[in-house]
Each structure stands twice: as C-alpha cells, then as structure tokens.
Amino acid sequence: MSFEERLQLLLSHELVTREQRKIHRLEKQARFRLAGQVEQMDYRASRGFTKAQIRQLLEGHW
C-alpha cells in the first residue's frame, strides 16, 4: 500500500470518528426523553405522516 493510500485511509478514519463524536455529543446535549429510531416508528398512530413522507425526509428531500 502506498503512502498516499495509507494517508487517505487515516484521514478518512479521522473524519468518520469526528463525525460520530459530534453526533454523540449533540444527542447527549439534546437530552431526549426517549431514544427512538425511524425503523421503530408506528405508522398506524394518527400523526399525519405516511411512510413515503418519512422516506423523503430521510433522503433529504424537503
């Protein structure tokens, strides 16, 4: 593996690690009462959202 490839791997790992730490810090700072995931969302409840709308939001189409 060349020097450039190793450097690229190292930098990529550093960026991913920083992003994960940032997300963890922001989640902790937000102090959510409940931990939730989109996969656990109950679409039967009358929240006024459809699966298609949630999918669009997750893809960044808003």
Q: What is the pTM of this model?
A: 0.57
Q: How far apart are CA 24 and CA 13, in angstroms?
A: 17
Q: How far apart are CA 31 and CA 39, in angstroms?
A: 21
The answer to whether 42 and 49 have CB atoms below 8 angstroms apart is no
Range of the domain at 38: 3-58
Q: How many domains does the chain have?
A: 1
Residue 31, by phi and psi: left (phi above 0), alpha (psi -120 to 50) or beta?
Answer: left
pLDDT digits (tens, 9 = 90+) for 2-58: 999 999 999 999 999 999 999 999 989 998 888 878 777 777 777 788 888 888 888
